Homo-oligomer: A and B are copies of this chain.
């Protein structure tokens, strides 16, 4: 049984890889509840010029077609925005593991209210990486969450 901290390590590695590519450092992974990795990904707005590839969507995509998400865990370094929260809710992903919700707070409470098992780790590494990115690149970050100038 893989521990939540190990799941988050993998999502954090994705975020770090995104940062190294010049991208927004948010990483995600979809696991089965037993700890089998189905797919992982990262935000690729900058790298691929693709605004649809939020980290959670990239991980969901990497996992391919699945028939039942109820026993899966979406792991993400940052509280999911409405887009990614909607993904979790629509596909009945059973659990959500969040790195932090200090730099951005999305729909994780809404998901908890709608039956998703939500855990927020408040991981200092995630906070530090995201805080630094937002301070350096506020325009790219605001674009990524639909905040117009």
Contact = CB atoms under 8 A, between A and B. Distances in A.
Interface of A: 45, 49-52, 57-58, 60-61, 63-70, 81-87, 89-92, 107, 143, 145-149
A148 B86 contact: no
Given A86-B85, A86-B87, A90-B82, A45 B65 contact: yes
A40 B18 CA distance: 28
| Chain A facing B: main interface SS | loop
Contact of A69 (B87, B90, B148): B148
Contacts of A50: 61, 64
Each complex incorporates copies of this chain amounting to 2
Contacts of A66: 51
Most chain B beta-carbon contacts within 10 A, residue among A51, A70, A84, A147: A51
B67 A51 contact: no
A92 to B, nearest CB: 5
Contact of A89 (B60, B82, B91, B147): B82
16 contacts: A49-B65, A50-B61, A51-B60, A51-B65, A51-B91, A52-B58, A52-B60, A68-B149, A69-B146, A82-B90, A84-B86, A85-B86, A86-B86, A86-B87, A90-B145, A92-B148
A84 B90 CA distance: 9
